[in-house]
Amino acid sequence: MEELLRSIFEAFPEKSGLTLSGKCSDCNAPISIDIIPTSEGFGLLGGAFVECDIEKYAFKCPKCYKVNAKIIELYDTKANHLTIFDKKEILSLI
């Protein structure tokens, strides 16, 4: 995940922070995630996103992230109708 965030900030070097808007992949609630680089990595406010497959990511609202911070099984997007993003899609949200 840190590699993805690092590459996003490299693609937008003029930005000191980014906001990603989307929907929670668990409950489908609209969320806006603010991301800022810190001395120890990155800080996220308003939600999280987690890797759910190789270079595929799911957004989570704070409530759903608190219930299940990790994805144990890979998402089946067709069966569950979940919103899953790849790096290109995440960059398009910026």
| pLDDT score for 77 | 47
Using the predicted structure, report yes or no on whether residue 70 has a pLDDT greater than 80: no
pLDDT score recorded for residue 84: 67
Dist. CA 71–CA 51, nearest whole Å: 8
In sequence order, what are the beta bridge partners of 30? 23
Segment 67-80 mean pLDDT? 58
Residue identified by tokens 């997007």 is 77
Q: Are 35 and 42 in contact (CB under 8 A)?
A: yes
Question: Locate tokens 């497959």: which residue?
Answer: 53
Digit-coded pLDDT (tens) for 6-44: 888 888 888 889 888 888 888 889 999 999 988 888 899
Spatial contact of 32 and 19, defined as CB atoms under 8 Å apart: yes
User: Taking the model in full, what pTM does it have?
Assistant: 0.72
Q: Is the pLDDT of residue 82 over 60?
A: no
